[in-house]
Amino acid sequence: MKSATQVEATPPPPSSISLGLNKMRSYEMVHHLVSCNAVVVFSMSDCCMSTVAKRLLFSLGVGPTVVELDEQADGPGIRSVLYQLAGSHQPVPAVFIGGKFLGGVQTLMASHINGTLVPLLKEAGALWL
């Protein structure tokens, strides 16, 4: 029989500290991927704009590192980090070149049309010609 002062141990509810740690892990994962790869595309497998971004890069001869967020266990956390980077814009697809956030498909296409994309890819080491 329990005394009046004994209380059964119950797991604590998720705290802002644990949520903050998950967000930090997501941030570290994004940082690691973009700093170790010339081109990274954070994508959703069923997103048509993500498909456009990937196809443009592949057509230029670039083999980007593609992270399909809907196939990642930490996809929601990474998406939260991308929302912060993108500001008020749609965070997916998110294109990083040379460790820097370029933007979404609109910025990628605009860079291609105005002729700044290929030099940027060469500078990052994603293209050799």
pLDDT for residue 123 is more than 50: yes
Least confident of 6-15, 28-37, 95-104: 6-15
What is the structure's pLDDT at 28? 92
Q: Which residue is listed with tokens 């230029």?
A: 60
User: Could you tell me where the beta strands, DSSP code E, fall in the chain?
Assistant: 39-43, 65-68, 94-97, 100-103
Distance, in Å, from the CA atom of 100 to the CA atom of 115, rounded to the nearest integer, reads: 18
Domain membership flag for residue 50? yes
- Bridge partner residues of 121 (DSSP): none
Domain membership flag for residue 63? yes
Give the residue-averaged pLDDT of 24-39: 92
Is this prediction's pTM over 0.85?
no
What is the structure's pLDDT at 24? 74
What six digits make up the tokens of 76? 């929601």
**Residue 108's CATH number:** 3.40.30.10
Give the residue-averaged pLDDT of 103-122: 97
**Full domain range(s) for residue 78:** 19-124
Domain membership flag for residue 11? no
Of the pLDDT bands very low, low, confident and very high (cuts 50, 70, 90), residue 18 is very low
Mean pLDDT of the chain, nearest integer: 85
Q: Structurally, how many domains does the chain consist of?
A: 1
Domain membership flag for residue 28? yes
Give the residue-averaged pLDDT of 14-39: 76
Handedness of CA 81, 86, 90, 95 (dihedral sign): negative
Interval 42-89: pLDDT, tens: 999 999 999 999 999 999 999 999 999 999 988 999 998 998 888 867
Domain membership flag for residue 61? yes
Domain membership flag for residue 2? no
